[in-house]
Amino acid sequence: MKNINVKTSKPYEVRVGKGLLENIAREISDLKKPEKCMIISDDIVFSLYGERVKKSLTEAGYTVYEAVFPHGEESKNMETALSLLTACFEAGLTRSDFIIALGGGIVGDVCGFVSSIYLRGIDFIQIPTTLLAAIDSSVGGKTGVNTDYGKNLIGAFHQPVRVLCDTDTFNTLPYDIYTAGICEALKYGVIRDGDLFYAIGNGDIEDIVCRCVQIKADIVENDEFDHGERQLLNFGHTLGHSIEALSNFEISHGHAVGLGMLIMTRACENRGLCEKGISNEIEKALKSFEIDTDISYTAKELASFAMSDKKRKGNKITLVIPEKMGKCVLHTISTDNLEEFISL
């Protein structure tokens, strides 16, 4: 098992290893006395791992409750959050008790949001079960739900008290969900660590997760509340969000980000802003994970969706520009110029 310390306003440890789920109680015994806890999960993850987590905690003397909602992005909304808050009230959870988010990024985001507002904030532990959640959403404290006006528009910054990533859980992931996480891992490689980029697909997954989490931790520690450097983590995301929306969410977030990175890198190479050949490396990596890299949307379509991005400030948008493998910079342009910028 490996540990990474995240030194945010409220510091916490990320533990990454095989088989952690077998003894969750041991992994939190230094943090939480045997009190009440609420496991929040989705139906798929709970059916795979819920009983295992429950058993470990119950045997250690915790009083365990569960609240399970249907999987999928459609559940990431205020109705689900309200039903989870109700479950916490019904269980009588107090501020010394805690919540466990067992699942992918959707469970983590909704559960984190509920934890941030229940009794004005209660401790929560992230147990990510997708690669994407392990390397991205479970660390950094961004929580939230979607609205009819867009994704993640209601939320809060609320750091978990611990993150426990059992890499064995990736064994049950469908391949396309696994490769969605791979795209976010490739993102870390392009923004901060060229060696990591080339290790993805060859290296040990536990090591890849730790290197990604360390990069996220380093960036978040410098800019917890997203005013500057943290925007580097949005590489591929402005166009990725457009691709997700234009495909009616048939292209997953992770794959859309992979394509967003590719378009942005090609545009930057054409403008002489990026070393030549990086877009080919990204395309090769995506293809090696069987990700379709044919993009059927025009620059106009991609740019018009990007206008609704919440990262937009007035009529300016901050792009993440790769200069070379392992180094990205921020570059602000007028939203009016985005279409031209990405036109090849």
Which residues sit at the interface with ligand NAD, rule CB under 6 A? Answer: 42, 44-45, 48, 71-73, 76, 103-107, 109, 129-130, 132-133, 136-137, 140, 142, 151-152, 169, 172-173, 177, 180, 253
Burial 127-136 (b: 16+ CB within 10 A, else e): bbbbbbbbbb
Query: What is the sign of the dihedral through the CA atoms of 217, 222, 226 and 229?
Result: negative
What is the Rg, in whole angstroms, of the alpha carbon atoms belonging to the chain? 20
How far CA 205 is from CA of 22, 126, 170, 307, in Å, comes to 19, 19, 10, 36
Residue among 111 and 274 whose Cβ is closer to ligand NAD? 111
Residue among 6 and 267 whose Cβ is closer to ligand NAD? 6
The least distance separating ligand NAD from the CB of residue 129, rounded to whole angstroms, comes to 4
300 phi and psi angles, rounded to 5 deg:
-65, -45
The least distance separating ligand NAD from the CB of residue 173, rounded to whole angstroms, comes to 5
Token pair 């990205």 is found at 328
Residue among 46 and 197 whose Cβ is closer to ligand NAD? 46
298 phi and psi angles, rounded to 5 deg:
-80, 165
Query: What is the sign of the dihedral through the CA atoms of 70, 144, 320 and 8?
Result: negative
Burial of 248 (0-12, 13-18, 19+ CB in 10 A): exposed
Residue among 138 and 279 whose Cβ is closer to ligand NAD? 138
The least distance separating ligand NAD from the CB of residue 288, rounded to whole angstroms, comes to 20
Residue among 56 and 279 whose Cβ is closer to ligand NAD? 56
The least distance separating ligand NAD from the CB of residue 215, rounded to whole angstroms, comes to 14
60 phi and psi angles, rounded to 5 deg:
-85, 0
Task: Give the pairing type, strands 2-6 and 12-17.
Answer: antiparallel
The least distance separating ligand NAD from the CB of residue 208, rounded to whole angstroms, comes to 16
The least distance separating ligand NAD from the CB of residue 72, rounded to whole angstroms, comes to 6
| Count of CA atoms in the C-beta half-sphere (13 A) of 52 | 15
Residue among 36 and 55 whose Cβ is closer to ligand NAD? 55
How far CA 29 is from CA of 23, 25, 34, 65, 111, in Å, comes to 10, 6, 8, 18, 21
The least distance separating ligand NAD from the CB of residue 216, rounded to whole angstroms, comes to 9
Residue among 48 and 295 whose Cβ is closer to ligand NAD? 48
Both tokens assigned to 69: 């909602």
